[in-house]
Amino acid sequence: MKVNVIGVPLNLGCDRLGVERAPNHLRERGLMQLIRKNGHRAFDLGNLYVPPVSEADKFARGKSMKYLDAIVEVNNNLAELVYDTLRGGAFPLVIGGDHSLGLGSASGVGKCFDDFGIIWLDAHGDINTDATSPSGNVHGMPLSALMGMGSEELVNVYAPGNKVNPQNVFLVGTRSLDEGEKALIEREHLSVYTMETIHLKGIGFVADDIKRKLRERKIRNVHFSIDVDSIDPRFAPGTGTRVAEGLMPDEFNDFVDHILSTNLVKSLDLVELNPELDNGEQTTKLCLEIIDRITARI
């Protein structure tokens, strides 16, 4: 199929240098050739423009959300690019950058499909709001904003209001949740599959459970958002917010295979690779393997 690669060299959501380098880093190591090898017509749409910021911009809109204006701007543009890509019958492959970009990419998906679900593979919840975030880093808030919770500026990116029904959100690999996030999960009855659940019941059970729910809810389209920190840091050290006891590569691959076998995945983010924090090229290589695996199955 036609695959549009969209680079998002955004680090404002994690407020740490290095992740912005990941899209070019992967390109220089054969990203496009890898996708073409799997039989796709792959186009590189380049990197989205990220406005330059100064230290004064960090808290220009209050202490609770750093670099808010620039992050909103980038996400708005990303949403339009993802929407156009889907409308053109192509697969958007969004390469981060930090996970605040999930807000824009899933917003673009939401404009294209009335019924869609989000599978968010991550060590964290990314469902803080401006009221609950301990850090003010927006990469911890995109998923709550997509569900219509938190600051208006984030909730109304690209289109007014919530983009996805909380019922159709699936968090997987979770092992580090803030108090406000735990409260939101309870309140909204979110489908969260923690590492504890995965260890107890197995990744196959988790994937089957998600597939069953997608079927029951007649969801025909899925946005798959993969944070590299979902994988155990022994295998993926090159990321900014490492949490121990993550997914083993086999579990990760199993899960990806299960989810892609549904043929419901219409778009993908791969985020939070930080080449500057990597152990040599270990995590970079892993990311290329992930993209190879995924593009061989779409």
126 binds Mn ion (CB under 5 A): yes
**Catalytic choice (20, 98, 130, 229):** 229
Give catalytic status of residue 258 as yes or no: no
175 binds Mn ion (CB under 5 A): no
Give catalytic status of residue 126 as yes or no: yes
Nearest to 147 by CA among 120, 177, 179: 120
278 binds Mn ion (CB under 5 A): no
Of residues 42 and 150, the one with the C-beta less far from Mn ion: 150
> What is the distance between the alpha carbons of residues 35 and 23, in angstroms, rounded to a whole number?
14
- Angle among Cα 10, 14, 19 to the nearest 5 degrees reads 50
Stretch that binds Mn ion, among 119-127, 144-152, 196-204, 214-222 (CB under 5 A): 119-127
99 binds Mn ion (CB under 5 A): yes
Q: Are 118 and 146 in contact (CB under 8 A)?
A: yes
Give catalytic status of residue 99 as yes or no: yes
Residues found in the chain: 298
DSSP state of 10: -
Give catalytic status of residue 130 as yes or no: no
**Catalytic choice (20, 181, 227, 269):** 227
Of residues 26 and 35, the one with the C-beta less far from Mn ion: 26
> What is the distance between the alpha carbons of residues 282 and 239, in angstroms, rounded to a whole number?
11
**Catalytic choice (25, 40, 98, 124):** 124
242 binds Mn ion (CB under 5 A): no
Residue with the two structure tokens 């190591």: 29
Question: Could you give the 3-state DSSP secondary structure of residue 223?
Answer: strand
Give catalytic status of residue 223 as yes or no: no
Contacting Mn ion (CB under 5 A), which of 122, 130, 269, 278? 122
Of residues 99 and 163, the one with the C-beta less far from Mn ion: 99
CB of 152 to Mn ion, least distance (A): 22
Q: Dihedral (C-alpha) 259, 263, 264, 266: value to the nearest 10 degrees?
A: 100
CA dist 252 → 196, 206, 248, 293, 294 (Å): 15, 12, 6, 11, 12
CB of 124 to Mn ion, least distance (A): 5
Contact map string, positions 220 to 239, toward Mn ion, x by CB under 5 A: -------x------------
Of residues 28 and 245, the one with the C-beta less far from Mn ion: 245
How many chain residues bind Mn ion (CB under 5 A)? 4
Copy the structure tokens of residue 223.
Answer: 């946005």
CB of 222 to Mn ion, least distance (A): 17
CB of 128 to Mn ion, least distance (A): 11
- Angle among Cα 124, 240, 22 to the nearest 5 degrees reads 110
Give catalytic status of residue 189 as yes or no: no
**Catalytic choice (20, 126, 130, 278):** 126
**Catalytic choice (20, 40, 98, 122):** 122
66 binds Mn ion (CB under 5 A): no
> What is the distance between the alpha carbons of residues 186 and 132, in angstroms, rounded to a whole number?
15
CB of 126 to Mn ion, least distance (A): 5
CB of 105 to Mn ion, least distance (A): 13
> What is the distance between the alpha carbons of residues 39 and 191, in angstroms, rounded to a whole number?
35
First and final C-alpha spacing in the chain: 8
In the chain, the amino acid numbered 248 is: M
Nearest to 48 by CA among 95, 92, 15, 13: 95
Positions that interact with Mn ion (CB under 5 A): 99, 122, 126, 227
Catalogue the active-site residues. 99, 122, 124, 126, 139, 227, 229, 272
